[in-house]
Amino acid sequence: MRVLLTGAAGFIGAHVHSALIDAGHDVVALDALIASAHGEDPSVPNGLRRSDVRDGAALDDALQGVDVVCHQAAVVGAGIGAQDAPAYASHNDFGTAVLLAAMDRAGCHRLVLASSMVVYGEGRYRSATSGTVEPLPRRREDLDNGIFDNVDPATGETLTWELVDEDAPLRPRSTYAASKVAQEHYALAWAAAVGGSVVALRYHNVYGDQMPRDTPYSGVAAMFRSALEAGQPPRVYEDGLQARDFVHVTDVAAANRAAVEAQLDGFVPLNVCSGHPITIGEVAATLSERCGGPAPVVTGQYRSGDVRHIVASAQRASGLIGFTAQVLPTDGLADFATAPLREASGHSAPQV
- Domain assignment present for 99: yes
Predicted pLDDT at 235:
96
- Domain assignment present for 154: no
Distance separating alpha carbons of residues 123 and 59, to the nearest angstrom: 36
Predicted pLDDT at 38:
73
Identity at 157, one-letter amino acid code = E
Predicted pLDDT at 4:
98
- Domain assignment present for 63: yes
198 in helix, strand or coil?
strand
pTM for this one?
A: 0.93
* 10 neighbors 73 (Cβ within 8 angstroms): yes
Distance separating alpha carbons of residues 68 and 283, to the nearest angstrom: 36
Distance separating alpha carbons of residues 318 and 325, to the nearest angstrom: 9
Q: Locate the DSSP E strands across 286-348.
A: 297-298
Predicted pLDDT at 218:
64
Axis-axis angle for helices 249-261, 11-22 (nearest 10): 50
DSSP state of 158: B
In which domain, by residue range, is 245 found? 2-124+162-337
Predicted pLDDT at 75:
85
- Domain assignment present for 348: no
SS3 of 210-271 = CCECCCCCCCHHHHHHHHHHCCCCCEECCCCCCEECEEEHHHHHHHHHHHHHCCCCEEEEEE
Pairing outcome for strands 197-203 and 110-116: parallel
Distance separating alpha carbons of residues 315 and 332, to the nearest angstrom: 21
Distance separating alpha carbons of residues 209 and 343, to the nearest angstrom: 11
- Domain assignment present for 92: yes
- Shortest CA distance to 98 belongs to which of 66, 67, 62? 62
Give the total number of structural domains in the chain: 1
Q: What is the largest CA-CA distance in the chain?
A: 59
| CATH number (domain holding residue 174) | 3.40.50.720
Segment-wise mean pLDDT, segments of 10 residues, the chain, 352 residues: 96 96 98 75 81 95 98 79 85 97 98 96 89 88 94 91 95 90 98 98 95 72 91 96 97 98 96 97 97 96 88 96 97 94 61 69
- Domain assignment present for 248: yes
Give the 3-state secondary structure percentages of the chain, helix then strand then coil, rounded to 5. Answer: 35, 20, 45
Distance separating alpha carbons of residues 60 and 17, to the nearest angstrom: 21
* 27 neighbors 48 (Cβ within 8 angstroms): no
- Domain assignment present for 230: yes
- Domain assignment present for 146: no
Q: Locate the DSSP E strands across the chain.
A: 2-6, 26-31, 48-50, 68-71, 110-116, 124-127, 131-133, 160-162, 197-203, 205-207, 235-236, 243-244, 246-248, 266-272, 278-279, 297-298
φ, ψ for residue 177 (rounded to 5)? -60, -40
Distance separating alpha carbons of residues 219 and 346, to the nearest angstrom: 14
- Shortest CA distance to 21 belongs to which of 42, 46, 40? 46
